[in-house]
């Protein structure tokens, strides 16, 4: 199995802050890396696919980068609606795996 | 637009079988890409359970493979999940999700989820 690890597990930030979340794969996954946002009581929502492509309708303050084993999700200016948990997920092989999640909380 | 809706018993007894369905609307499951089941225990992260293609081909996560069956019913335009020999550890919100025909094979459409509690 390909293991995915995210850091940090949680962070506190203020509105307007730049936030960066990292995701590391246990082996190279090329750019088969997707990011999801989940708000309490709701289903996850796709933010970014193929490491850096913004899903339609997602604000441009979200961006993704990386390839191989190391990836980042950046929120350029945190907005009140961005407080949520973020998950990375690999689709490189037939067994998809998620990172453990990063909870973004209000400072 | 394509929508997914999970349904099934909210309470299952220990050692029993959890059975859920995911109804697909707005598109034919016969033309869909892989559809996955994902679960989330209370207060915890997402766990991918497995996936099925409209042809019936399946992939399962190794830790659950011996207990899981995912199937598709084209006549009803739905997919199903069965998980046998359940314990309290299987208590979770269960989601179905559809892979989008995009680079990276992301899960682009999700159902709202259905909560399942394993308890006597």
pLDDT on residue B35: 95
A68 touches chain B (CB under 8 A): no
Q: Do B48 and A89 touch (CB under 8 A)?
A: yes
- Chain B residues touching A44 at Cβ < 8 A: 38, 46, 95, 97, 107, 110
Q: Exposed/middle/buried for B47, CB within 10 Å: 0-12, 13-18, 19+? A: middle
The minimal CB distance from B104 to the residues A34, A42, A87 is found for A34
Distance CA A85, CA A37 (A): 6
Q: Cα–chain-centroid distance for residue A49? A: 10
Minimal C-alpha gap between A78 and chain B (Å): 22
pLDDT, one tens digit per residue, over A14-62 is 999 999 999 999 999 999 999 999 999 999 999 999 999 999 999 999 9
Question: If you measure CA to CA, which chain B residue comes closest to A44?
Answer: B110
pLDDT on residue B24: 96
Would strands B78-83 and B11-12 be described as parallel, antiparallel, or unpaired? unpaired
pLDDT of A11 higher than 90? yes
pLDDT on residue A57: 96
- Average pLDDT, integer, range B10-34: 94
- Which residues neighbour A57 within 8 Å (Cβ) at sequence distance 6 or greater? none
pLDDT confidence of B13, banded at 50, 70, 90?
very high
B83-112 burial, b at 16+ Cβ within 10 Å, e below that, comes to: beebeeebbbbbbbbbbbeeebbbbbbbbe
- Chain A residues touching B36 at Cβ < 8 A: 96
- Average pLDDT, integer, range B18-36: 93
pLDDT, one tens digit per residue, over B91-109 is 999 999 999 988 889 999 9
Give me the torsion for CA of B65, A46, A106, B38, rounded to 10°. -20
User: pLDDT averaged over chain A?
Assistant: 97
- Average pLDDT, integer, range B67-76: 96
């Amino acid at each position: 199995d390909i293991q995915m690890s995210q850091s940090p597990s949680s962070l506190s930030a203020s509105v307007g802050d730049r936030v960066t979340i990292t995701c590391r794969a246990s082996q190279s996954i090329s750019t088969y890396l997707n990011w999801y946002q989940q708000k309490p009581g709701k289903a996850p929502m796709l933010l970014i696919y193929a490491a850096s492509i913004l899903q339609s309708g997602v604000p441009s303050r979200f961006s993704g980068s990386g390839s191989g084993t190391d990836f980042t999700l950046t929120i350029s200016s945190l907005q009140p609606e961005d407080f949520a948990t973020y998950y990375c997920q690999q689709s490189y092989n037939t067994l998809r795996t998620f990172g453990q999640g990063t909870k973004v909380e209000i400072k | 637009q394509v929508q997914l809706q999970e349904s099934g018993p909210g309470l299952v007894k220990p050692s029993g079988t959890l059975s859920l369905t995911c109804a697909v609307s707005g598109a034919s499951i016969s033309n869909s890409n892989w559809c996955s089941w994902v679960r989330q225990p209370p207060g915890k992260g997402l766990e991918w359970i497995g996936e099925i293609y409209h042809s019936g081909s399946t992939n399962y996560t190794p830790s659950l493979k011996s207990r899981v069956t995912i199937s598709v019913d084209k006549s009803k335009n739905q997919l199903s999940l069965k998980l046998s020999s359940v314990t309290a550890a299987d208590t979770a919100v269960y989601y179905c999700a559809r892979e989008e025909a995009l680079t990276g094979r992301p899960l682009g459409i999700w159902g709202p989820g259905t909560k399942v509690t394993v308890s006597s």
